[in-house]
Amino acid sequence: MKVLVLGATGDQGRAQVEAALAQGHQVRVAVRDPERAANLLPPGIEVARVELGAADAGEEALARAAEGCEAILANYPSSSFNDGRWLVGAAAAAGRAATRAGVGIIIFNTSLPQRERLMGFAAHDVRYRMRLALMEAGVPVVTLAPVVFMDNLLRGWAFPAIADEDCFRYAHRPELEVAWICQADVASLMLAAAVRPQLAGSVFRIGGPETLRGAEVARRLSAAAGRPIRFESQSVEAFCEAMRPQVQRHEPAEAAHLLEELGRIYRWYNEGPERPFSVDMAPVLEQLPVTLTPFADWAGRQLWSRA
């Protein structure tokens, strides 16, 4: 089929582009900066310039980009660090553009745990409203809500401690059970959903094939790195401080609010009775039959030093 990937230059979108190409699909991407996309993405894709923040003009460009596509894989910037109203508006515009272009299905990646009700956490509730905005346009929507990405450990808030201090430091309490999932598996699940229109309206909570505590993750990292790596349970306050560079572009009051909200949702992740990071994938895989990647296999393919 022919798929349009939104957010293709981000980590998650790139994984979806690569997976779609590997499965033999035709891929078009809608991006703000085509030159940057050409440098980041593999060859063999079509690139359309779309500025979603450009009101009607952005929606018109997105409708043109979606023409001839059977599915849209929709990824958006973080709802923890970006304007929620803009994100909901961008989702609504994507839904309308998909309707105009005759797209058959939209696969929406929430990029974070999701419940099918408002929870009072800004990042969560923005994603909830985005899903509703997409669905209101009339195009069938399947929503995938991943828990925590294995790939987060390669980012600036986690990798330096692993590489320099032999420490897996994360804002998870020691007994927290997490179904870590890699972005390549999210991509495979999204593509499996894209060819199953009968699943329209479904929301799938998705994770990896195993549920691990922090010390168990550290043991797998130790085996992959060939050296001992310990787990350190980071406080939510310290984690939010480490994330401060993500909000530097905002005014001080808004940055403080975003970090406060980040702390609130991370406390829910750790303490919520809903256990948002724990997922039973057996019923999901009955409907989206893909092979999931164990943490040890994923870790073994990464470089855990700066050399």
- Tens-digit pLDDT profile for residues 246-292: 888 888 898 898 899 999 999 999 999 999 999 999 999 999 999 99
CA dihedral over 29, 34, 36, 40, signed as positive or negative: positive
How far apart are the C-alpha atoms of 248 and 114, rounded to whole Å?
27
272 in any annotated domain: no
**Residues 190-215, mean pLDDT to the nearest whole number:** 97
167 in any annotated domain: no
**Residues 292-300, mean pLDDT to the nearest whole number:** 98
For residue 8, pLDDT beyond 80: yes
223 in any annotated domain: no
For residue 245, pLDDT beyond 90: no
252 in any annotated domain: no
Query: Residue 218: which of 226, 209, 228 has the closest Cα?
Result: 228
243 in any annotated domain: no
Q: What pLDDT is stored for residue 208 in this prediction?
A: 98
**Residues 296-304, mean pLDDT to the nearest whole number:** 98
Mean pLDDT of the chain: 95
256 in any annotated domain: no
| Residues paired with 141 in a beta bridge | 106
CATH code assigned at 50 = 3.40.50.720
Q: By mean pLDDT, which of 53-67, 104-118, 122-136, 287-301 is the weakest? A: 53-67
How far apart are the C-alpha atoms of 274 and 42, rounded to whole Å?
39
For residue 169, pLDDT beyond 90: yes
How many distinct structural domains can be found in the chain? 1
Structure tokens at 5: 């990937």
For residue 125, pLDDT beyond 60: yes
Structure tokens at 69: 């596509």
| 3-state secondary structure at position 245 | helix
For residue 206, pLDDT beyond 90: yes
In this structure, which amino acid lies at residue 228?
Answer: P
For residue 55, pLDDT beyond 60: no
23 in any annotated domain: yes
**Residues 3-27, mean pLDDT to the nearest whole number:** 97
Q: How confident is the model at residue 30 (pLDDT cuts 50, 70, 90)?
A: very high
Domain that holds residue 109: 2-147+183-207+279-292
| Residues paired with 144 in a beta bridge | 109, 204
Share of the chain above pLDDT 90, in %: 88
Q: What pLDDT is stored for residue 307 in this prediction?
A: 73
Q: What pLDDT is stored for residue 166 in this prediction?
A: 98
Q: What pLDDT is stored for residue 254 in this prediction?
A: 87
For residue 57, pLDDT beyond 80: no
**Residues 57-84, mean pLDDT to the nearest whole number:** 93
What are the strands, taking DSSP E only, across the chain?
2-6, 26-31, 46-49, 71-74, 105-109, 141-146, 167-170, 203-206, 230-233
**Residues 74-88, mean pLDDT to the nearest whole number:** 92
pTM, whole model, 2 decimals?
0.94
301 in any annotated domain: no
